[in-house]
Amino acid sequence: MEWTGEALLIGVRRHGETSVIAEAMVAGRGRHLGLVRGGRTRRLAAVLQPGNTIQLTWRARLEDQLGMFSVELLTARAAALIEDRTRLYLSQLLCEHLRLLPERDPHDRLLGMALRLIDSPPDGAALARFELALLEDLGFGLDLTACAVTGTTEDLTHVSPKSGRAVSRAAAAPYLDRLLPLPSFLTARGNASPHDIADALSLTGHFLQSQVWGPRQLDHPTIRDGLVGMLSRED
């Protein structure tokens, strides 16, 4: 079996003395792994940097085998990312997030969002929207469309930390110490202040921990903590 596709490289681990197992998000095919022979040579090591876009050709005798990757560099980002610590941390976090997805299950919306984030100036609001989309694709989407108590779609200001449903300002008033703030930019158009970005990433971080990292017995990416501080810092 054989196919060729464009992919974002999201991870590499050593295999034997000279080879690596590459992990990539492939358009139309999702998260895919493959063996790259000679992947630790100087020529291929420069290509196999997480954050690069590559052309992959995958070959295997059977569909459920690991298979072999042949790789060709399409977009090199590693050098530019190293020069900008915030972009580097953002790229690393996005790769960690994409590795949470089930193998060989297409998630082209998330792939497109990740590429736009990597290729744009660091944007905390866009990262929060990406994490909301990630939760949705993992089956833990938040319902931010209407108040869980009254059903109103107006003045939604908080989220239940248990149900993931929005709560209006009036319904939230007696329970503010038990609810998570819902920044307005997540439900309506508008600019996000640094405080809004911090609240949004706290919201998505809560549900990633309770629904994804915790149940899977995974440590949350420590790089995210520093990145949240960078993206929510007052100028």
The string of DSSP codes covering 32-52 is: EEEEETTTTSHHHHHH--TT-
CA 69, CA 3: separation in Å to the nearest integer? 10
Residues β-bridged to residue 69 = 58
CA 28, CA 86: separation in Å to the nearest integer? 29
Question: For 178-227, what is each residue's pLDDT tens digit?
Answer: 999 999 999 987 789 999 999 999 999 999 999 999 999 999 999 999 99
The string of DSSP codes covering 110-126 is: HHHHHHHHHTSS--HHH
Sketch out the chain's domains with CATH numbers. 2-78 (2.40.50.140), 123-231 (no CATH)
For position 79, what pLDDT does the model report?
Answer: 86
Task: Give ∠ CA 26-28-32 in degrees, rounded to 5.
Answer: 35
pLDDT by residue for the chain (235 residues), tens only, comes to 899 999 999 999 999 889 999 999 999 999 999 999 988 888 898 899 999 999 999 999 888 899 999 999 999 998 899 899 999 999 999 999 999 999 999 999 999 999 999 999 999 999 999 999 999 999 999 999 999 999 999 999 999 999 999 999 999 999 999 999 999 999 987 789 999 999 999 999 999 999 999 999 999 999 999 999 999 986 6
What is the pTM for the complete model shown? 0.94
CA 167, CA 149: separation in Å to the nearest integer? 7
Q: Say how many C-beta atoms besides its own lie within 10 A of residue 76's C-beta.
A: 15
CA 121, CA 132: separation in Å to the nearest integer? 20
